[in-house]
Structure 1
Amino acid sequence: MMKMKITTLLALLLCSSLLAFSQPAEKRVKVIVAPDHADWTYRTGEKVKFTIQVLKDGNPVKNVNVRYEIAPEKMEPLLKASAVFENGSKTLPEKSMQQAGFLRCIATATVDGKDYRGLATAAFNPLDIQPVATVPDDFDTFWNNAKAENAKIPMDVRMTLLPERCTENVNVYQVSIQNYRYGARVYGILCVPKKEGKYPAILKVPGAGVYPFYGEVGLAAQGYITLEIGIHGIPVNMDPGVYKDLMNGALNGYWNANLDDKDNYYYKRVYLGCVRAIDYIFSLPQFDGSNLAVMGGSQGGALSIVTTALDNRVKWLVAFYPALCDVTGYLHGRAGGWPHMFAKENLNFNNKKDKINTAQYYDVVNFARRVKVPGFYSWGFNDETCPPTSMYAAYNVINAPKTLFLAQETGHWTYGEQWEQQQAWLKEKMK
């Protein structure tokens, strides 16, 4: 019976997650770029040959104009050109990298007056990538003190039943918990099985942006407490237009807020809010007191790693394409992680000693070094939002048990197979 429950639970988790991270819509015209190794992986110094194909309804497009470039991801091109592909395809000159990293080919074809884009990214010794982020001498002291100060603030929990979202088997609440300072709060949607008993829990941490949450009712119906939190200290069940206005207004570029002050940087309250959410889960009488997983993608992937490092009550973590990894990579001639605050276009604003210093206290790399529990990780080589160079910089310093499932072709999205693998992993851990 328990096995059936867990299987159904994970299937529902798969479905709900796919809604959040589905792949891009198909188009009649496809620009297919591929390296000549099936696994897209090379040794440093080895040559890669990229082939570009332009297809319409599955057939080559004749005499198509294509612009293309090859470059280390996010860096200046090694090759940039355009040509007419008489037969709809072309193999480009060989290129290589002498150090561990990623080499990306981007192609844009013009068909019937419209541009279509494709890319592929070759990995060179990715498991040898090491971070450029440095660990401040007082990193652990800083975060231990921050957690201790936060623990002194009463949770002052407020729960509001959302009857329209409740089901026969699940109660759904908006909850808010005091966090960071008196009067500041972290909001979320809590789903709890109605049947009396003790249940394991999942904390879901959000991707970037400002938007409402709906809660994981299906998971709770199968015997899990779920808490899906926001990070901005605002209710998570308002009209969607409110969040759009906030993202375009007061919260626009929130990831840069107070970057010159490590004690007041925006993400300090966010990271502590994730720990405060765990405090709350452990206070619930329905929680079994032990079994807790944290999961998310992009910014949520970063928060999964950070939360696990900050709080030893987490037993398992799931991180899809984590952001905020090795963000100062750009200052060392290679791609850094989202939100790219030190990329060339942002250097005039952010390339300052105090901002660089603050970033080290919040870089996911420095939390990854402190992860001690099993984790499932998944991403693709074509991710232009969270560059794989930055993600490997964090992954490679994790010394805890770790499973990496690659879907090389994916960008900042997932195939169903990635979720199936995550499902199997979580099922095995939870059995």
Structure 2
Amino acid sequence: MNTRLYLSLICIALLSLYVHAQPQRKLVKVIVSPDQTDWTYAIGDRPEFSISVLRNNMPMEGIQISYTIQPDPGYRTLKIWDKGTVSLKNGSAKVKAGKMDEPGFLRCTATVTVDGKEYSSYTTVGFAPHKIEPTTTLPKDFEEFWNQGKKALAEIPINPIMTLLPERCTDKVDVYHVELNNIKGKIYGILCRPKKEGKHPAILRVPGAGIRPYYGEVSDAEAGFLSFTIGIHGIPVNMEKKVYDNLMQGALNSYWTTNLDDKDNAYYKRVYLGCVRAVDFIESLESFNGEDIGVTGGSQGGALSIITAGLDDRIDYLAAFYPALSDLTGFLHGRAGGWPQIFVDEYTNKPEKIETSKYFDVVNFARFVKVPGWYSWGYNDNVCPPASMYAAYNLIDAKKELHVFQETQHWTFPEQRELRNAWLYRQLND
């Protein structure tokens, strides 16, 4: 290959990376703002929304805005309370919402068409969210079911296989691919261990939904912690990405509903017990200080953080972003249920599936959490609707702190992650 062609290919590759790294911003911005700065109201209040439209960061005038107001629908469909059109005057338009007569969330969505292209945005406000109660219920044999599962797991040798990954190691951290025995198969993960001699606190990082490779958290280990990042699907976590993509499109498609009518064989039973097995592994490490373990994750990982703390009293701290799998039966009671928002059609709305879901709902593990926790989410999350998360959070009878970043959807600001890390590191170091 001649030098000119080689340099041209390098430039094209760099340009491609630059283009894909650009933020996904739109020319026209629709902004929906409530009249309470914390987006939170008392039952019986009538919030007023101000709607503005910006182009090139300048207010637009005289444009027709279509709006809808409804209970927070997640990404499914719930009944619309009100809809209509208003015109922008002096840069904004106002819409008055109706009252909510019970704790919950209300969403105002605004849509405009500019030069033939549609733009929209929404804002979700809360009504007495700390009074939200769950719609799911606790099975009488819930504790017995999970105690039996842990007993069966304890009878299976861990048999850890740790494979050093030299290409991922640094001058301060050793990185290993780890294989462990779990019920009905294996659990795999990436261990990042400080090279510095001594005994260290540990962080278990549990994953969000999906199927992907994992790389571990070297930064945790550089800060002096054992850091164990696990996958949940019983397959190695250091293969090429295309392997996981093929599984997601094939054998593991919609894995979260697999055997939903059979609690003994439901997909998440092996996953939840796999988190306990990950704690077993941490406890077995000579470099573990024997005392301090924190668990953290977001979405499905936020759920697994609460679940692991509820199942395993060896967990000392938990930090959860927007926990999924919370109050799954919400849709059966007129409000949004937690991801994966399953109870919305004839296939899933069957008594045996509803009953099975109770053994895997975060709400019912939240009842047993007794350790300090740090939590964070947004009101605009349409994947893990806020009512579902509050339904679990409100039941936790332990020291806890909630950091609401109202405008966030199913993502976090860097500041949220900085707060989480600072809190978790501080707890483990005290």
Same fold (TM over 0.5): yes
Deviation at 1:427, TM superposition (A): 4.2
In the other structure, the counterpart of 2:312 is: 311
Classify the secondary structure of the residue corresponding to 2:401: strand
In the aligned structure 1, how far is the partner of 2:158 from the partner of 2:106? 48
In the other structure, the counterpart of 1:40 is: 39
Instruction: Write the letter of the residue equivalent to 1:376.
Output: W
When residues 206 and 23 of structure 1 are mapped into structure 2, their CA distance, relative to the original with a 3 A threshold, is farther
- Which of 135, 152, 155 is equivalent to 1:152? 155
Matches within 5 A, 1:168-179: 168-179=171-182
In the other structure, the counterpart of 2:382 is: 384
Classify the secondary structure of the residue corresponding to 2:346: helix
Deviation at 1:62, TM superposition (A): 2.6
In the aligned structure 2, how far is the partner of 1:426 from the partner of 1:217? 16
Instruction: Write the letter of the residue equivalent to 2:222.
Output: A
Q: Deviations over 1:3-60 (max 9, x none)?
A: xxxxxxxxxxxxxxxxxxx997443321111111111111111111111111112111
Deviation at 1:426, TM superposition (A): 2.5
In the aligned structure 2, how far is the partner of 1:423 from the partner of 1:190? 18
Classify the secondary structure of the residue corresponding to 2:178: strand
The answer to whether the 8 Å contact 1:106/1:120 transfers is yes
Deviation at 1:349, TM superposition (A): 0.7
In the aligned structure 2, how far is the partner of 1:111 from the partner of 1:162? 53
Q: Does 1:64 align with 2:63?
A: yes
Deviation at 1:115, TM superposition (A): 2.2
- Which of 132, 135, 139 is equivalent to 2:135? 132
Matches within 5 A, 1:103-114: 103-114=106-117
Classify the secondary structure of the residue corresponding to 1:418: helix
In the aligned structure 1, how far is the partner of 2:84 from the partner of 2:159? 61
Instruction: Write the letter of the residue equivalent to 1:422.
Output: R
Deviation at 1:87, TM superposition (A): 5.0
Instruction: Write the letter of the residue equivalent to 1:192.
Output: R
In the aligned structure 2, how far is the partner of 1:124 from the partner of 1:425? 28
Structure with the greater alpha carbon radius of gyration? 2
Q: Deviations over 1:291-320 (max 9, x none)?
A: 110000000000000000000000100000
Classify the secondary structure of the residue corresponding to 2:264: coil
- Which of 161, 164, 179 is equivalent to 1:161? 164
In the aligned structure 1, how far is the partner of 2:43 from the partner of 2:333? 19
Matches within 5 A, 1:20-39: 25-39=24-38
In the aligned structure 1, how far is the partner of 2:233 from the partner of 2:119? 36
In the aligned structure 2, how far is the partner of 1:118 from the partner of 1:24? 17
Unpaired runs of at least 5, structure 2: 1-20
The answer to whether the 8 Å contact 1:405/1:421 transfers is no
Instruction: Write the letter of the residue equivalent to 1:311.
Output: D
Share of identical aligned residues, percent? 56
The more displaced of 190-199 and 225-234 is 190-199
In the aligned structure 1, how far is the partner of 2:246 from the partner of 2:311? 32
The normalised TM-score by structure 2 is: 0.91
Instruction: Write the letter of the residue equivalent to 1:50.
Output: F
Classify the secondary structure of the residue corresponding to 1:361: coil
Deviation at 1:235, TM superposition (A): 1.0
- Which of 93, 115, 118 is equivalent to 1:115? 118
In the aligned structure 2, how far is the partner of 1:88 from the partner of 1:112? 18
In the aligned structure 2, how far is the partner of 1:66 from the partner of 1:88? 12
Instruction: Write the letter of the residue equivalent to 1:171.
Output: D
The answer to whether the 8 Å contact 2:46/2:96 transfers is no
The normalised TM-score by structure 1 is: 0.91
- Which of 326, 350, 354 is equivalent to 2:352? 354
In the other structure, the counterpart of 1:333 is: 334
Q: Does 1:246 align with 2:247?
A: yes
Q: Deviations over 1:134-169 (max 9, x none)?
A: 000000000000000011111121111111111122
In the aligned structure 2, how far is the partner of 1:225 from the partner of 1:423? 14
**Equivalences, count:** 405
In the aligned structure 2, how far is the partner of 1:94 from the partner of 1:272? 45
In the other structure, the counterpart of 1:92 is: 95
In the aligned structure 1, how far is the partner of 2:190 from the partner of 2:350? 38
Q: Does 1:373 align with 2:371?
A: yes
